[in-house]
Amino acid sequence: MRTEPEAAGRQRGATSSAADQDGYYALNVDAREAPAGESLFEVAERLINSEIENARQLLERLWSMRKNANAANAGSLGELIERQQQKLNALRSKEDHIHRLSELSRRLLQDQQLGRNELGSLRKEISSP
């Protein structure tokens, strides 16, 4: 099921980027390779953590390059650093959101299991003479 903005983008002829496609592929591969007890949220958390680490390392490299750059290149490197910092901030926001959703999902699954257990014990009580 596509969201309205995504469907509108497809109608205008927009396509998803190769990076988005690679991200979806990586998520699917990670999900297939995940242990049976690992939820999709845990896989997503692991994936976003690796993305954050990669972004952080790139930001460190850019800062190192800027220290050694001449004045002509410093402006361009500054723009790259700013964009990379924005990307890192967005990734951290996504990480927080995924973590909150994961916690809510776990609690809901625990509540569902408790409900099933209570229902099973009630059925046993009703069926026993």
Same domain, 52 and 97: yes
Q: What is the pLDDT of residues 3-41, one digit of tens each?
A: 444 444 444 444 445 555 666 676 666 656 655 556 787
* pLDDT average, residue stretch 96-118: 91
Count of the separate structural domains present in the chain: 2
One domain for residues 52 and 87 = yes
Domain range for residue 12? Answer: 1-33
Give yes or no: residues 84 and 116 share one domain.
yes
pLDDT tens digits along 35-58:
555 678 788 888 999 999 999 999
Average pLDDT, the chain: 79
Tell which wins on pLDDT, 129 or 62.
62
Give the whole-angstrom CA distance, residue 31 versus residue 51.
16
Output the CA torsion 92→98→104→110 (10° steps): -120
Three-state secondary structure string covering 101-119 = HHHHHHHHHHHHHHHHHHH
Q: Are residues 45 and 21 in the same domain?
A: no
